[in-house]
Structure 1
Amino acid sequence: MDSLTQVILGAAVGEAVLGRKLGNRAMLWGGIAGTLPDLDVLSGLVTDPMSALAYHRAFTHSLPFAILAGPLIGWTVHRLHADPPDKRRWIHILGGVLAFWVLLTVGSYAMPIPVYGVPGIAAIVTAVFAGMCAIVGWWSLRVQRSRGRIHVKSGIHVNPKRRQWILLFFLAIVTHPLLDCFTAYGTQFFEPFAATRLAWNTVSVVDPLYTLPFLLLLILAARSGRGTQERRKLNTAGLVVSSAYLLLTTVNHFNVRSVLGDTIAAKDIVAQRTLQGPTLGNNLLWTGLAQTGSDTFYVGEYSLLDERRTFEPMLRIDGRHDLLAPYHGDRELDILRWFSNGIYSVTPVGGGRVQLNDLRYGLLGDDPDDPTSYLFNWQIDTTVHPVRVMPESEEAQAERGERMGAFFGELWDRMLGE
């Protein structure tokens, strides 16, 4: 999901683990850990766009990364808070930073999909994360020194045990990709052992009904006294309410899947596979897709507020995969095929270019032949070999921007049901 939501989740986890001992500092450390996996977007600064696409929600969003990074970061932050400090503390901290870079580098090289510029990607992610930790660590040490006497009198340890730090960072990191698994975009949870993308398609990548109540309860908890029962209850309520909403979206998912199955059966569509997921920013309006044959798709919409339990209309989209058949083995195209999981169509746009459209996220309109009707797409230049993914023209970007403005108004109307 969006980075703000991941920060909120990480902060709530940090509070649950160490809030009684660290107060709001636990939320800060948890928030940093919660946003760590999404620092993989910085890869676009040092590598090519297709490598960046393959790297996002890959190794940093995996269970192996959480298992290895949690103890490493927890140990390093524990050394940062050592009281009294020893002469080797900064050597240990620098060693922890270097070890984190090595972990990112080795794990990224082991990915099944080759990514260019791995050392640079690991370096920029390490540098930004280390900088974030340095800022919070500096502030945390100031608080620690200014309140040292109060901590001693209250019996609250200034520096939690190493295993408690490790637990905070492991849980705050691993809950990030677990939440991403609920989205249509999904995450490569088992990298570097497999490039399989887990995508349960129950919640949008941005959903205010998940984020805003969670944020409100977290703010109320942060404003309560450290270690108080009220603070604990508010933070727990945020975790429970957000988890209950995810459970509700899962129920909606299976309900919509039943509706999609009934729809394609009524229309005599024999589907090889089906897919359903919520549209952007809500859990009421859903997109449904049925694939027949190798490259024929039917796409429709259904709102939970519709009077009839059916996807209507179901637009036919010809995939035209044959237009790209001669280019199997070309690296950039193979990455797009993998990323879209084969659920794509191809639209000629002239000048030797074609547009690959990811169909998992629906359409902006009702004309499958219009290149600006697709939310996620890439322009491919077939006049060069191997083929290259090219940036979209300024004219197409402007036209798509205009379509997006109208799309959100139509989305709201359709969400309210027919």
Structure 2
Amino acid sequence: MDSLTQIAVGIATAELCLGKQLKNKAFLYGAVIATLPDLDIYLGKLFDPITAIAMHRSFSHSILFFLLASVPIGAIMFKLEKGHVKLFQAINASFFILFTHSLLDAFTTWGTQIFWPLPYRAAIKSIFVVDFFYTIPWLIFLFLVYKNSNPIKRAKWLKIGFVITSCYLLLGIVLKIYVTQQVKNALHGQNITYTKIIVKPTFSNVVLWNINVMTNDAFLLSDFSVFDAQPMPFKSYDRNLYLAEPYQMQPVYNQLVNISEGWFTLQQTEQGILFNDLRFGLLKDDATKPQFAFSYKLMESESGLTAEELPKDNRDGKALLQNLYNRIFTSVTQ
């Protein structure tokens, strides 16, 4: 999830493990340690953009990394706080702060390779990478913990924070199951044969969900609000796999296929051939020139195929959020 949320959950975990020993100083350790896995973004800058994307949330988000890193991190904490925490406590706290970072990422659409070096990416897809309804309660209850010196009151506010935010995560899972069943019913009712379905929440809510459906020759996209009463329409996008024929032996193309987990289309445009990753939906739902959240321009050079992510326009993002708000409001008031 976003850095602020990861810091908040890291602080909560540090308070749970070390709050009695370090009091508010536990906040500092939680914030710092929780940000360490996402430093792979900066490591990725040493490589080409596609390799950097593939690296994100891989080794640095794995249990193996947490086991290796928690020992030196815990040893540093033990040395700095000698007399206040035991070595095992420091190592144990470091591991769980790192682990909760990856565990939280596993609820998002992008997921995380928590079992690296296995290629499997755990992705429950029940919460958006930025969700204020999850983050803000954490900030409120952590503030109340910070302002209290009484251990009993600190523990009470922390417990309430864990309960409320965990209930929100559970709500996301329950609604995802419900929406998935509604999608299957809609596909059955429209006599659509499919191979795979992705159901994922939209920005900062668990009310409106994006739907991706894979068929043999196309992808179907739609959205569904838990308040919807009308039939679910699907919009078809051709795979255009014939455009990939010159690139199928190129490493960059195969990297993009692996990153997208097969959820992609190819699109012939004035700019050239675009590789569209469908998992994160559309920025602009234009009938003639659809713009996906993640699109890559394929370019041939003497050294082989390269890819460049298309820049995003802030105006498109604002328009998307406005459309999102209108869609949710319409479904609630219909």
* The one of 203, 211, 226 aligned to 1:288: 211
Quote how far apart the aligned CAs of 1:391 are. Answer: 4.8
Deviations 1:294-316 (CA, angstroms, capped at 9, x unpaired)? x41100010112223x43x2000
Is 1:354–1:382's contact at 8 Å kept on the other side of the alignment? no
SS of the equivalent of 1:354 reads: strand
* The one of 354, 367, 380 aligned to 2:298: 380
* The one of 337, 344, 347 aligned to 2:264: 344
Which position in structure 2 is the counterpart of 1:356? Answer: 275
Is 1:296–1:318's contact at 8 Å kept on the other side of the alignment? yes
Is 1:202–1:250's contact at 8 Å kept on the other side of the alignment? yes
Deviations 1:241-297 (CA, angstroms, capped at 9, x unpaired)? 11111001000110010011011111111011111001112111101111111x411
- 1:266–1:325 distance in 2 versus 1, CA, 3 Å: same
Is 1:347–1:369's contact at 8 Å kept on the other side of the alignment? no
Q: How much is the aligned-residue C-alpha RMSD, in angstroms?
A: 1.7
Q: Structure 2 matches for 1:4-403, cutoff 5 A?
A: 4-82=4-82, 158-192=83-117, 194-225=118-149, 228-293=151-216, 295-308=217-230, 310-311=231-232, 313-350=233-270, 353-367=272-286, 369-371=288-290, 373-382=291-300, 386-392=304-310, 397=312, 400-403=313-316
**Structure 1 alignment gaps of length 5 or more:** 83-157
Quote how far apart the aligned CAs of 1:349 are. Answer: 2.0
**Structure 2 alignment gaps of length 5 or more:** none
Report which of the two structures shows the higher radius of gyration computed on alpha carbons: 1
Is 1:315–1:366's contact at 8 Å kept on the other side of the alignment? no
The TM-score normalised by the length of structure 1 is 0.76
Structure 2 Cα separation of the partners of residues 297 and 382 of structure 1: 27
- 1:367–1:267 distance in 2 versus 1, CA, 3 Å: farther
**Greater strand share, 1 or 2?**
2
Corresponding pairs, count: 331
Which position in structure 2 is the counterpart of 1:100? Answer: none
Quote how far apart the aligned CAs of 1:62 are. Answer: 0.8
Q: Which has the higher contact order (CA 8 A, sep 6+)?
A: 1
Is 2:44–2:56's contact at 8 Å kept on the other side of the alignment? no
Q: Which stretches of structure 1, 4 residues or longer, exceed 6 Å deviation after superposition?
A: none
Structure 2 Cα separation of the partners of residues 218 and 316 of structure 1: 46
SS of the equivalent of 1:189 reads: coil
Structure 1 Cα separation of the partners of residues 56 and 288 of structure 2: 29
